[in-house]
Amino acid sequence: MMKRQGSELEDKLIQLAQKAYSQAYVPYSHYPVGAASLWSSGKIYTGCNVENASYGLTICAERNSIFQAVANGERSLNSIAIAVPTEVFPSACGACRQVLREFAKDCLVLLVNGKGEVRKSTLKELLPDSFGPEYL
């Protein structure tokens, strides 16, 4: 078996995202998602999705992770791993892509399925021609 080509930091992000989905609160969708984001400080913040009986109040794992980081003073996003336990790869929703864009013009996005397979993408690929803070 060939070892996946990725840095140790990427492997750490992936592991933390996988660990994060174990805390997901998903009584309605039964679809746990975990995210781990790396910031310019070198710190990593994790998040899981948290659902609500009033469904629309649900927060995605990605935004949970981003908001935790920002609340701790972070402003510059380096990369994010998003992990799910299913065979189908995750894909950050449109709202989360725009929230990532607030803190990075571009960044590495690692999408991890339940088999531990990794799909590497970038924010620019996921959200082309994006609108961001420098427009204002």
Which lies closer to ligand THU via its Cβ, residue 41 or residue 125? 125
Which lies closer to ligand THU via its Cβ, residue 92 or residue 110? 92
C-alpha to C-alpha distance for 64 and 46, rounded to whole angstroms = 8
Q: Which of residues 92-131 bind ligand THU (CB under 6 A)?
A: 92-93, 96
36 binds ligand THU (CB under 6 A): no
60 binds ligand THU (CB under 6 A): yes
Rounded alpha-carbon distances, angstroms, from residue 93 to 4, 72, 100, 124, 134: 26, 24, 11, 14, 22
Distance of CA 40 to the CA centre of its chain: 16
**Whether residue 51 lies in the annotated active site:** no
23 binds ligand THU (CB under 6 A): no
Distance of CA 89 to the CA centre of its chain: 12
Sign of the torsion formed by the C-alpha atoms of 100, 102, 106 and 107:
negative
Q: From the CB of 50, what's the least distance to ligand THU, in Å?
A: 8
Q: What residues act catalytically?
A: 62
Q: Give the footprint of ligand THU on this chain (CB under 6 A).
A: 26, 29, 31, 33, 49, 51, 58, 60-62, 90, 92-93, 96
